[in-house]
Amino acid sequence: MHLRYTYRVYPTAPQRVALARTFGCVRTVFNDAVAARRRAHAEGLPFPSTAELDKRLITEAKRTPERMWLAGVSTVPLQQALRDCHSAYRNFFDSLKRKRVGARVGPPRFKRRSHRQAARYTRNGFSLRSNGRLFVAKVGELKVAWSRELPSAPSSVTVVKTPTGKYYASFVVVVDADTDLLEPLPDAASETGIDLGLKSFAVLRGGKAIESPKFFRKMERKLKKAQREFCRKEKGSANRAKARIKVARAHEDIRNRRDDFLHKQVKMIVAENQGIFVEDLNVKGLARGRGAKSVHDAALGRFLTLLESKAVRTGRTFVKVDRCFPSTQLCSACSSLTGPKGLEGLKVREWACGCGAVHDRDGNAELNIRREGRRLARDHTVAAGQAETVNACGQDVRPGVPGGSGSPRKGQKQEPTRTLTAHAAS
């Protein structure tokens, strides 16, 4: 299993100059590779291979007056830039051919100087010294703020400069699959469904609600002010560069607060529950409708990704219930579809069923998700440390209940429910 560990680094003034030179060369080689492939496509020629681009854009370019300054940096990050360009085009074509799972991927674009800058080094381009410093080829020994030890020797490191001017070193290490396994918990007392939303970020077992922090909404006024100041500065001036950094710092502050919140919630949920059942939300679809800004602010997709990764690594059972499952409309007492429906139903927070049961909207949805996830986990348990894809769309949610995972809406594509199960070693 590959994991990434990121640490803050503090380069000296000469090292910052060397890193700026490296970032510029990496950006130039990547942009030249994109331009070469665009030119080949416009002329109807086959795309040049990575080896051909390596020879043309690095080896031969160093001998020309226009690109002779490429010799002043290490060759390793320049070669990795070409491989990144090749991977970007491969993902683009796989996406066009429907070979790549997930959202459609566009073609690679030119890199900009004001955005995030990065240079990746393989093992022959860096080393960890005994004094705790990170040696990078043709840059020197960088001071690293080690917040924790690396579990194993890193296979690569990426030196990153953020738009705010901060430097980070991101290491890729290989660890055993059972390194982070937790002790198993009693299933009867440690299972929870998770109903995600905007009013409350998440509702867990027993009606426990996690309030939505709304980081972007709280800092939106500050961000607007910084953006207005940036727009009023003259292009190319030093004041405009300072204003740009101010805007970037506001975005960075929002992102850091959100990431800290998400990681803490994921750690809490995984530590307290052996079984975790969530709804497979169409986050991209929600982000295009009403309340799109709030959906982006909540970062529901990133939360589900972090939760799934952490649950599998620590030996918890993680189940995604099909998005067609009517968790809100289904009465948890009599299994009838009498709950709120449509856009008008979003305003309904409590509702009464014909059987006499009165439900809290989110608490009822959590209970239904937990029951359905438990059923899927019971029916599709897999071997330790493995993952299995199961299809719940062809099965009824409850006997005699229409509109469940076995009854997708008209014109809606059926999507599988994934069950990821990992058991701790006894």
Q: How far, in Å, CA of 326 to CA of 370, rounded?
A: 13
Q: 109 in a domain, yes or no?
A: yes
Q: Cβ(365)–Cβ(331) under 8 Å? A: no
Strands of the 317-321 sheet, one edge to the other = 209-211, 200-203, 191-196, 275-279, 317-321, 417-421, 387-390
Q: Give me the pLDDT at residue 188, please.
A: 64
Query: Token pair for residue 262?
Result: 């998400």
Tens digit of each residue's pLDDT, the chain (426 residues): 899 999 999 999 999 999 999 999 999 999 999 999 999 999 999 999 999 999 999 999 999 999 999 999 999 999 999 999 999 999 999 999 989 887 789 999 999 988 899 999 999 999 999 999 999 999 999 999 999 999 999 999 999 999 999 999 999 999 887 788 888 887 767 899 999 998 899 999 988 999 999 999 999 999 999 999 999 999 999 999 999 999 999 999 999 999 999 999 999 999 999 999 999 988 888 888 778 899 999 999 999 999 999 999 999 999 999 999 999 999 999 989 989 987 778 888 898 998 999 999 999 999 999 999 999 988 876 433 444 434 444 444 443 343 444 444 444 444 443 434 333 332
- The kind and range of the H/E element at 277 are strand 275-279
Q: 131 in a domain, yes or no?
A: yes
Give CA angle at 69 (67, 75), nearest 5°.
95
Q: Cβ(318)–Cβ(312) under 8 Å? A: yes
Please indicate, yes or no, whether residues 284 and 410 belong to a single structural domain of this protein.
yes
Three-class SS state of 233:
coil
In 287-360, alpha helices (H): 292-298, 300-314
Three-class SS state of 364:
helix
CA distance to 40, 225, 230, 242, per residue, from 233 (Å): 40, 13, 6, 10
Strand partners, 420: 318, 387
Q: 233 in a domain, yes or no?
A: no
Please indicate, yes or no, whether residues 109 and 141 belong to a single structural domain of this protein.
yes
Please indicate, yes or no, whether residues 193 and 165 belong to a single structural domain of this protein.
no
In sequence order, the 6+-apart residues with CB closer than 8 A to the CB of 14 are 140
pTM: predicted TM-score of the whole model, two decimal places: 0.82
Query: Token pair for residue 200?
Result: 């409350």
In sequence order, the 6+-apart residues with CB closer than 8 A to the CB of 413 are none
Which residues form the catalytic set? 195, 279, 362
Please indicate, yes or no, whether residues 194 and 149 belong to a single structural domain of this protein.
no
Query: Token pair for residue 356?
Result: 């006499």
The alpha carbon of 171 is separated from its chain's Cα centroid by a whole number of angstroms, namely: 17
CA distance to 260, 376, 421, per residue, from 387 (Å): 28, 13, 6
Please indicate, yes or no, whether residues 205 and 150 belong to a single structural domain of this protein.
no
Please indicate, yes or no, whether residues 93 and 147 belong to a single structural domain of this protein.
yes
Please indicate, yes or no, whether residues 160 and 191 belong to a single structural domain of this protein.
no
The alpha carbon of 381 is separated from its chain's Cα centroid by a whole number of angstroms, namely: 27
**Rounded to the nearest 5°, which phi and psi values hold at 362?**
-75, -40
Strand partners, 156: 122, 172
SS3 content of the chain, % helix, strand, coil (to 5): 40, 20, 40
Please indicate, yes or no, whether residues 127 and 207 belong to a single structural domain of this protein.
no
Q: Cβ(390)–Cβ(281) under 8 Å? A: no
- Domain of residue 356, residue span: 187-212+257-421
Please indicate, yes or no, whether residues 284 and 317 belong to a single structural domain of this protein.
yes
Q: 222 in a domain, yes or no?
A: no
Question: Per the structure, how many domains does the chain have?
Answer: 2
Three-class SS state of 387:
strand
Single-letter residue type at 100: R
Please indicate, yes or no, whether residues 170 and 33 belong to a single structural domain of this protein.
yes
Q: How far, in Å, CA of 304 to CA of 280, rounded?
A: 9
| CATH number of the domain within which 282 lies | 3.30.420
Q: Give me the pLDDT at residue 382, please.
A: 42
- Helices 238-272, 215-232: axis angle to 10 degrees equals 170
Q: How far, in Å, CA of 24 to CA of 72, rounded?
A: 11
Q: Cβ(200)–Cβ(210) under 8 Å? A: yes
Single-letter residue type at 95: S
Please indicate, yes or no, whether residues 94 and 205 belong to a single structural domain of this protein.
no
Please indicate, yes or no, whether residues 167 and 263 belong to a single structural domain of this protein.
no
